[in-house]
A and B are shown apart, each in its own frame.
Chain A
Amino acid sequence: MNCLEFRRLLLIDPQPDDMPFRQHASDCARCAEVQQRAIRFESSLRAALAVTVPPQLAEAILLKQATEQQRSRQRLRRGGALLALAAGVVLAFGIGLRLQAKPLSELAVAHLQHEAFILTQTRPIAEDQVRKAFANLSVRVGALPAGISFVACCPVGRYSSVHVLMPQSNGPVTVLYLTDDQHEARGDFVRDGWLGRSVPLAHGTLVLLAHDAAAFDQIEAQWRTALQSAT
């Protein structure tokens, strides 16, 4: 390989996995110097191309996918509930498949543990952020409780939800509002060391999770006001 061939190859790939190329770089000091410049240029090019990725892009995609799945399930339910049921029974008998939906309490606790860092957020956020998160999932809210320190739209299992954190004197309370589906009757539960409550509310289900349930009644009442006054 001569100098011209080497320098042309540099513009195609500054660090090719090519033996004659490497040999020339070690034999020719001038070309080796040019290669170092080309590598520096490549590094600047890579940095320039690496534009900032929007925060929570992955979460937004997963939420959209979960929402789409939920919608197609609802369409399926409306369009052919009986047919789907019959097909499901046949399938279950046919291949011995046992479908068992995870309980809401399990999904909620798994989600909270997956995003455990959120529990460290203590500084109150702007009310607008909370309203925007609910609006993203087409949920209208009235007067919001004070002291919310985190909000995001999150997929919880197969459901879309608004995930809220409300710090209290005896520890934070996580609030998940699962939209578009009233899952279960109101009730309290204990799972993996967490105390929980699920409440059918407006068009969805409110789930509260904490290590201390002392504030549950008050927080439930606040969200009942927020969600029912707007519908």
Chain B
Amino acid sequence: MSAKQTQFDALVRSLSGDLFRYGYWLCGDEALAHDLVQETFLRAWRALDHLRDTGAAKAWLITILRREHARLYERKRPQFADVDEVDVVDERDAHTPEFAGEENVIRNAIRQLDAKYREPLLLQVLGGFSCEEIARELAITPAAVMTQVFRARQKLKIMLGGDDVREAKIHELP
């Protein structure tokens, strides 16, 4: 096996799961996420010689995946684009424990987040990236990232109800 193939195998085995989860939350569809990750790695294989720093591999793959997703978005409108049209009051009924477990309740709430809030949150929580790294990836300022992840958590807490609602509201950013 060539050194390039060995490196590629290691990347696929160590990062395909993380990329799948990120892709899933980006497009909202399991089969589409599978294709996205597959296409991302095929592109990565063709461009593997450009990867100089293995520590940057995850960020590099995320960049490729986001571009793939953008291409996909041009061809087919993903499900999440429609969330603004969802009747929030009806959706909140589905958040109650009678209808779903805690994870599903949170997942439904995440799906309702606007993409501009959801994506930095995904990069932070799933990707483990710092605000500076997310800012570079999304081509926005670190301050904008901090604002968006703040608002993402605030909106989630409000949607999910419970003790955190009051706190999320009273600590509103200036």
Which residues on A are within 8 Å of B, measured CB to CB?
4, 7-8, 11-13, 34, 37, 41-42, 44-51, 53-54, 57-58, 60-62, 64-65, 68, 157
B65 to chain A, nearest CB (A): 13
Closest 5 CB pairs of A and B: A48-B106, A53-B17, A11-B150, A48-B103, A11-B153
Contacts of B131 in A (CB 8 A): 12-13
Q: Is B171 within 8 A of A49, CB to CB?
A: no
Q: Given contacts A11-B168, A49-B21, A51-B25, could you give 13 more A-B pairs where the C-beta distance is less than 8 Å?
A: A8-B173, A41-B153, A44-B106, A45-B110, A45-B156, A49-B107, A53-B17, A53-B20, A54-B34, A57-B16, A57-B17, A64-B38, A65-B45
CA distance A231 to B92 in the complex (A): 56
- Judge whether B132 is part of the interface by a CB distance below 8 angstroms: no
Partner among B21, B163, B168 whose Cβ is within 8 Å of the Cβ of A53 = B21
Name the residue on B nearest A107 (C-beta): B1
Using a Cβ–Cβ cut-off of 8 Å, how many residues does chain B contribute to the interface with A?
42
Partner among A13, A50, A64 whose Cβ is within 8 Å of the Cβ of B21 = A50
Q: Is A48 within 8 A of B16, CB to CB?
A: no
Q: Is A61 within 8 A of B38, CB to CB?
A: yes
Q: Which B residues, 68 to 124, have Cβ-Cβ distances below 8 Å to chain A?
A: 102-104, 106-107, 110, 122, 124
CA distance A181 to B13 in the complex (A): 27
Q: Is B25 within 8 A of A58, CB to CB?
A: no
Q: Is A34 within 8 A of B102, CB to CB?
A: no
Q: Is B157 within 8 A of A34, CB to CB?
A: no
Q: List 10 A-B contacts (CB under 8 A).
A: A13-B131, A45-B110, A45-B125, A49-B21, A49-B25, A53-B20, A53-B21, A61-B42, A65-B12, A65-B42
Q: Is A11 within 8 A of B171, CB to CB?
A: yes
CA distance A58 to B25 in the complex (A): 19
A149 to chain B, nearest CB (A): 25
Q: Is A62 within 8 A of B9, CB to CB?
A: yes
Q: Is A58 within 8 A of B173, CB to CB?
A: no
Contacts of B157 in A (CB 8 A): 41
Name the residue on B nearest A60 (C-beta): B38
Q: Is A51 within 8 A of B21, CB to CB?
A: yes
Q: Which B residues, 3 to 33, have Cβ-Cβ distances below 8 Å to chain A?
A: 8-9, 12-13, 16-17, 20-21, 24-25, 30
A42-B106 CB under 8 A given contacts A12-B149, A53-B20, A62-B9 = no
